[in-house]
A and B are shown apart, each in its own frame.
Chain A
Amino acid sequence: MSAVTETRDTVQAATQSGYKWGFETAIEMDIAPKGLNEDTIRLISARKQEPAWLLEWRLKAFAAWRETTEPHWARVTHPPIDYQDIHYYAAPKPKPGPKSLAEVDPELLRTYEKLGIPLKERAILAGVEGAGTEQNVAIDAVFDSVSVATTFRETLAKAGVIFCPISEAVREHPELVRKYLGSVVPAGDNFFAALNSAVFTDGSFVFVPKGVRCPMELSTYFRINARNTGQFERTLIIAEEGTYVSYLEGCTAPQRDENQLHAAVVELVAFDDARIKYSTVQNWYPGNADGKGGIYNFVTKRGACRGARSKISWTQVETGSAITWKYPSCILQGEGSVGEFYSVAVTNNHQQADTGTKMIHIGANTRSTIISKGISAGHSNNTYRGLVRMMPKAAGARNYTQCDSLLIGDQCGAHTVPYIESRNPTARVEHEATTSKIAEDQLFYCRSRGLSQEDAVNLIVNGFCKDVLKELPMEFAVEAQKLLAVSLEGSVG
């Protein structure tokens, strides 16, 4: 039997035993009734004790949502989503917004511990920096609709950095939220963004004031737990002049037979010389081997490089979700600003991913780099969809795009759909794309050196993804590498 046939058979025989995050936490919840109408929105707004302007903004978004229809241009198929059959608010009882880690429900702490997310500041507090296994990362933990804990807030506050749940930012820093919310992704931007704007419940807020280099990595860990709920988080990161911030997000969900909707919006704003590094390891429950269950991940992420020489860098490792619909983008407005998109998307079994980026070059001498690696296995479909647009004023702008797809097995699909538009003769665009399979001779070479089939595939896949993985912060790169192996393990062997 050839190596590839063997790989394929293992893929077909695969079960989702690999998904290790599929447990459910038994915890008492405050859940809104199913369905979406103005009352739902008023309820969310009231639970969050929001100011009137935000309720109004939500209601406007809801009106816009009702005017738009679900987009169908992506290469994904799913049964119609009944938006009235979803809970739009679910929060653990009884203490929304604990004041300190000590007040967090121990059941939740145990959940995050089980997920390998340290909601403790022990290492630092005890003054043993770097001694233990704890990482110097500040974490905001979002459990269903609410943020349950945010670590290292005092340390960050000393540096002037605000890192808190967005619901809290609405109360504590209303002027900032009001100024920037919807300034990159307007409330009516698209169907899912409008839905999010109407019903978003929590998410992270980051503000880095002028000249500050954020002293540690910031991270949000999203967990869907409750049944039949949607998760609609909203993240807003503002980097003032001359700042640097690195933000990571991770996510998991229990293993369930029904599909659950996740429609997030992320907005980034970078001013002169600011740099934002945004990394995602997306590991929502992908459904079982027959394509039953899993998260619908319909996400709008966009960054505005408003300032000169600003830089926004998106890195994503997408291994989870039944369906992924996501195009982290950069609006390169500031002269000499830089956008980057590094992506690994792995689909297996019946997963569908339609992901890519948009690089809109508005200002002169703007630059963008797109490196996308798609890996399809099982019966999955994996699409890169990207737009590079050079506007008339983008003199001297540059784009380089490299999209590579790897197919494992002959029941899956790999697709590349780039849109390239240029209206400036001095702008230069270069695009390359390839599709291939894992070469038999590479596999044979590895195996003749003693590697198992599975290890050989992992090795080759990791090599294929290297250009992207090296962009991840170190702690995440290791995790991502393991995740790739697991994704193809429940699959490759």
Chain B
Amino acid sequence: MSAALAERGEDFLAEFARRCASLPGALATREAAARRFAAAGLPTRRLEAWRYTDLRALAAVSFAPAAAGADAAALISALPDFAAPRLVLVNGKIAPASSSFPEGDGVGSFARTPDFALRCVPLAALNTMLAEDGAVIRVADGVDAATLALAHLSLAEAGQPIAVHPRHLIRLGAGARLTLIEYATGQGCYWHNMVAEIALGAGAQLTHIRLQTEATAAFHVATIFADIGAAARYDCFTLGLGARLARTEIHARLDGAGGIAHLNAAQLLRGAQHGDITTIVAHDAPGGASRQTVKSVLADRARGVFQGRIEVARAAQKTDGYQMSQALLLSPEAEIDCKPELEIFADDVKCSHGATIGALDPDQLFYLRARGIPEKLARTMLVRAFLDEAIEGIAHAGARAVLDRAIARWWEAEG
């Protein structure tokens, strides 16, 4: 047990003790979360779920809550055009002036209508304890809400790292539809510890496209709980480019018959970045299908982690689960750790996973060069082709364009 981790955990508990009276929502839930967090603390590598991600670098930073009134004008003006109405949060709080759609119509602030569940995940408990605000998006039965963009901007003053814990709630009624583009970026040293709770009614469809380009000194942890109803479909794609340490943890539960979950992700890391993609797909009902394609591209001393577990409960007969994780190591000092897991209790299922790790194929590189394509461009083409398998499913043109540009910029900087 790292003393620093324990100490940092204590800091957050002290912060809760100081501020609990002023936080929105049921104090009892927050207190229960605080007890849970006090018992668990910040996760150490001894926890199997955190075996490959060490939070000691985070524990070395002393975070304060964000002060009000940060000037995010520069970050806001640099936001990409998502070709959709947007909701902007600055340091964990909704910034109505910068948001381009009105409250009402099911969209609102978590601070005004707090609604949270207690979760057995330590960092989600921390979020439950300290969440101030976030987006609440409710789409009524049968409504196609088209596309919304949710931008989270973090802004830390020099010398004062901040921690923000936004809490988002996304509820789609039966047969409802939504494309949600989530974008996270910022400036300075901060910890963005978000939780999203997603519930999809029968036959609902949520396309969730996530782009994480946090500041290079930042820490990013996103914990997403998605409960997927009968014949509902959750399509999630995460692109991780930023942060010094990032973890995306998705708990998808298929609790209605015939639900579908697609959890695709790609991460491009360099320098000393650490990126962790962890997914747990729980098939609790029969006839569900899950698909995952996760790609990691690692340069310099970057370290990538992929942990993916497919759980099939006894009742979840006729489950069809597939998962593929692939990593490209572009440098002798890069590292990938991968733990694809199957946990199966139903017999009439088809589940499989695959994992491959390696460098760019020298034969492919030579073939491109023999046709006159310069080495650097040839590498870019091959890496793009490698990533495309995870990205190709993104139908939303606006989101796709933003992702393509982000990847292109990453490569320009790489050269």
Contact = CB atoms under 8 A, between A and B. Distances in A.
Is there any pair of Cβ atoms, one from A and one from B, under 8 angstroms apart in the complex? yes
Given A414-B344, A416-B340, A429-B357, 4 more contacts: A407-B347, A411-B314, A422-B327, A431-B355
B386 to A, nearest CB: 14
Given A434-B351, A436-B350, A421 B345 contact: no
B415 interface: no
B379 to A, nearest CB: 13
26 contacts: A4-B347, A405-B344, A407-B344, A407-B349, A410-B314, A410-B345, A410-B347, A412-B345, A416-B343, A419-B337, A420-B339, A422-B327, A424-B332, A425-B329, A425-B359, A427-B357, A427-B358, A429-B355, A431-B356, A433-B340, A433-B352, A434-B351, A435-B344, A435-B350, A435-B352, A437-B348
Nearest to A403: B342
Nearest to B360: A425
Contacts of A434: 350-352
Interface residues of B, number: 35
Contacts of B347: 4, 407-410, 412, 437
Given A409-B347, A422-B329, A435 B355 contact: no
Given A414-B344, A415-B344, A418-B341, A424 B329 contact: yes
B337 A420 contact: yes
Q: Which among B332, B337, B354, B357 has the highest number of chain A CB atoms within 10 Å?
A: B357
Contacts of A432: 352-354
A83 B413 CA distance: 61
A403 to B, nearest CB: 9
Contacts of B330: 425
Contacts, number: 120
Nearest to A377: B347
A429 B354 CA distance: 10
B338 A413 contact: no
Contacts of A419: 337-339
B52 to A, nearest CB: 8
A428 interface: yes
Interface in B356-413: 356-359
Contacts of A417: 339, 341
A432 to B, nearest CB: 5
Nearest to A384: B342
A434 B356 CA distance: 15
Contacts of A418: 338-341, 355
B337 A421 contact: yes
Contacts of A405: 342, 344
A426 B353 CA distance: 23
A436 B349 contact: yes
A420 B354 CA distance: 11
Interface string A116-156: 00000000000000000000000000000000000000000
Nearest to B348: A437
A390 B359 CA distance: 13
Interface string B300-320: 000000000000001001000
B383 to A, nearest CB: 13
Contacts of B348: 4, 410, 437
Q: Chain A at the B interface: mostly helix, strand, loop or mixed?
A: strand
B414 interface: no
B349 A437 contact: yes
A392 interface: yes
B334 interface: yes
A475 interface: no
A430 B356 contact: yes
Main secondary structure of the interface of B (DSSP, over half): strand
A423 interface: yes
A432 B340 CA distance: 10
Nearest to B354: A432
A421 B339 CA distance: 9
Nearest to B327: A422
A73 interface: yes
Contacts of B329: 422, 424-425
Contacts of A422: 327, 329, 335-337, 357
A371 to B, nearest CB: 15
Contacts of A429: 355-358
Given A392-B332, A417-B339, A424-B329, A435 B357 contact: no
B71 interface: no
Interface string A456-484: 00000000000000000000000000000
A342 B318 CA distance: 29
Contacts of A421: 335-338
Contacts of A411: 314
B401 to A, nearest CB: 31
B113 interface: no
A420 B296 CA distance: 14
Interface string B152-173: 0000000000000000000000
B346 interface: yes
| Residue among B339, B347, B359 with most chain A CB within 10 A | B347
B331 interface: yes
Contacts of B317: 410
Interface string B272-289: 000000000000000000
Which of A415, A420, A437 gathers most chain B CB within 10 Å? Answer: A420
A4 B349 CA distance: 13
A423 B335 contact: yes
Given A415-B343, A434-B351, A436-B349, A428 B357 contact: yes
A30 to B, nearest CB: 44
Given A407-B347, A437-B347, A425 B356 contact: no
B244 to A, nearest CB: 20
Nearest to A426: B359
> What are the 4 closest A-B residue pairs judged by CB atoms, nearest first?
A425-B329, A407-B347, A428-B358, A416-B342
A435 B335 contact: no
Most buried by B among A405, A425, A433: A425
A425 to B, nearest CB: 4
Contacts of B349: 407, 435-437
B342 A435 contact: yes
A417 B314 CA distance: 19
B48 A73 contact: yes
Contacts of A430: 354-356
Contacts of B357: 390, 420, 422, 427-429
A316 B202 CA distance: 47
A393 to B, nearest CB: 10
A430 to B, nearest CB: 5
A375 to B, nearest CB: 11
A427 B356 CA distance: 10
A413 B332 contact: no
Interface string B20-57: 00000000000000000000000000001000000000
A436 B356 CA distance: 22
Given A423-B335, A437-B349, A415 B358 contact: no
A408 B329 CA distance: 40
B1 to A, nearest CB: 16
A435 B327 CA distance: 23
